[in-house]
Amino acid sequence: MARINVNPNRMELLKLRRRTAIAKRGHKLLKDKLDELMKQFLGLIKESGNLRDDIELKLDEAFTIFSIARSEVLAEEIEEALAAPTAELDVEVGERHIMGVKAPRLNVVYSGSYDCYSLSTTPLALDVALQSYRDLMPSLMELAEMENDIRLLAIEIEKTRRRVNALEYVLIPSLEETVVYITMKLDEMERSYRTQLMKIKSMQEEAARAAAG
């Protein structure tokens, strides 16, 4: 692990110890965030999977009913009945935050009516099929929200994991190694200083004895 290039003095040692403590606190916070993101992520995957299964089942049912409707009249009659719809669908986009991640919220707004055709010339199954499709729209929007949330959370998880790994395997070890290096250097300097003091004291004592003699 690369050591940080600093002067080995007590001031730098104090700074590095503070940086190490801050880095460790940041690592813990990011690790907690990563754990919560994973919890949210896995929960959404399970929830979206259940919703998708339910939607696919209902879509199959609606398509079966629509197929029955098509079998009761000519294809041209179905096309003519659906040629001029009066119903409109708008999607209002809002926003919410999931663990600090901005995620869009979708709200379906209907206007008009889907039954823009003659009820006397079309089968009842067509009404049922169209109503089934319309009823599914909020669930489809919800599924779209969930799957987009999953995508956004996956991106945030990867970013947070990289930051956690950078702190855990690069910055914190580098700081700790530098702290050890400076501590050893300071200890060496202190030992050297004490040795010099002892030599000076010994020389002074010898000089004093020589002068007394």
What is the CATH number for 149? Answer: 1.10.287.3240
pLDDT digits (tens, 9 = 90+) for 13-52: 999 999 999 999 999 999 999 999 999 999 999 999 999 9
Domain count along the chain: 1
The answer to whether position 209 is within a domain reads: no
CA distances to 8, 16, 129, 177, 183 from 12, in Å: 7, 6, 75, 13, 10
Low-confidence ranges of the chain (pLDDT < 70): 1, 81-85, 112-121, 213
The answer to whether position 161 is within a domain reads: yes
CA distance 45 to 43: 5
The answer to whether position 140 is within a domain reads: yes
pLDDT in the model for residue 160: 96
Torsion angle (degrees, nearest 10) of CA 127, 130, 131, 136? 160
The answer to whether position 19 is within a domain reads: yes
Question: Would you call 71 helix, strand, or coil by DSSP?
Answer: helix
Backbone angles phi, psi at 111, to 5 degrees: -150, 155
The answer to whether position 3 is within a domain reads: no
The answer to whether position 208 is within a domain reads: no
The answer to whether position 4 is within a domain reads: no
CA angle 120–123–129, rounded 5-degree value = 130
Residue 157 CB contacts under 8 Å (≥ 6 apart), including other chains: 34, 37, 38, 41
Its domain, for residue 67, covers 10-202
Residue 54 CB contacts under 8 Å (≥ 6 apart), including other chains: 139
CA distances to 30, 47, 153 from 156, in Å: 11, 19, 5
The answer to whether position 198 is within a domain reads: yes
Average model confidence (pLDDT) across the chain:
86
Residue at token pair 């006397």: 120
